[in-house]
Homo-oligomer: A and B are copies of this chain.
Amino acid sequence: MSRTDVRNTIDAADTDKPPRVAFLGPAGTFTHAAARALFGLAVRYSEAPTIDAVFDAVQRRDADYGVVPIENSTEGSVTPAVDALISRDGIRIRAEHVLDVTHCLMSVAGDLTRVERVYSHPQALGQCRQWLATHLAHAQLVQADSTAAAVREARGDASGAAIGSQLAAELYSIPVLRSRLQDVEGNSTRFVMLATEDAPRTGADKTTVAFAVPDKPGALLHVLEVFNDRGINLSRIESRPSRQRVWDYVFLADLSGHREDPDVYTACSILSERCPMFRILGSYPRHRTTNNS
């Protein structure tokens, strides 16, 4: 979506004082880039050290908005974000943004052969799994809370390297040894804007829902039928362990339309009755892939 579209999703009451935006920091993360694409410069940014801390900030009203990564085109769901969306009350998705993600290996070691440790976010390590197995098979892989946190760690480690953005390499003045490490060309990440309320209807919207299905044959099929019968398309569905009961799943799905659209409203009402758990995680304008991604 364009920046103008996002402006429309910010409450008019907020325009006299700039809204506070918490993002998965520190400065130089891909989330930071996504937040800037969504909000521009006229907001007050605050860096949160973890994805859970971004949710905390929005939930406690320390921030008006949050920005977190939710899904990558190569590695799949960002599980801490998905699990937090499913389990926390009072947080809604208000917008989405898709960003091309190109990973660099940066290091003060000077040379690839001197790298003994690679710091990065587990998602970035996953997106570069094949490259790492080929070029740095013997290096330790150290998990960091974000790619930019990894860059800061690597800067202080003479035999360390980090995987992160070109921007982070520039911000923290650390030499880039290799570029385009990601295993899959066109690697991109979907970020979501979090708020206490979702976005008003625009006519070109999507809705994210979470639901559990009754433990009987055909249960998932019958849920999908409720959507299909009303012409509601599912652009994505995935299952996650519920973390409540062993081998119990929660489904996360993206639907076409806004929750106030009559068909979506009816479908969600029916499923709220039928499913052991059904929650609307937010309606928001569809990201237009022609722009900024």
- A binding-site residues for B, Cβ under 8 Å: 50, 52, 72-76, 79-80, 122, 125-126, 129, 133, 140-143, 183-184, 186-188, 217-218, 220-221, 224-225, 228, 231, 233-234, 236-241, 243, 245-247, 249
Closest B residue by C-beta to A143: B141
With known contacts A79-B126, A220-B224, A224-B221, A73–B241 Cβ distance under 8 A? yes
Q: Which residues from B are CB-within-8-Å of A238?
A: 238-239
Copies in the complex: 2
In the complex, A96 Cα to B250 Cα: how many Å? 23
Closest B residue by C-beta to A49: B137
A-side interface mostly? mixed
In the complex, A246 Cα to B99 Cα: how many Å? 12
In the complex, A240 Cα to B74 Cα: how many Å? 9
In the complex, A80 Cα to B183 Cα: how many Å? 13
In the complex, A238 Cα to B50 Cα: how many Å? 26
In the complex, 5 of the A-B residue pairs with CB atoms within 8 angstroms, ordered by the A residue number, are: A76-B239, A140-B142, A143-B143, A218-B233, A238-B238
Q: Which residues from B are CB-within-8-Å of A74?
A: 241, 243
Q: Which residues from B are CB-within-8-Å of A225?
A: 221
Q: Which residues from B are CB-within-8-Å of A249?
A: 236
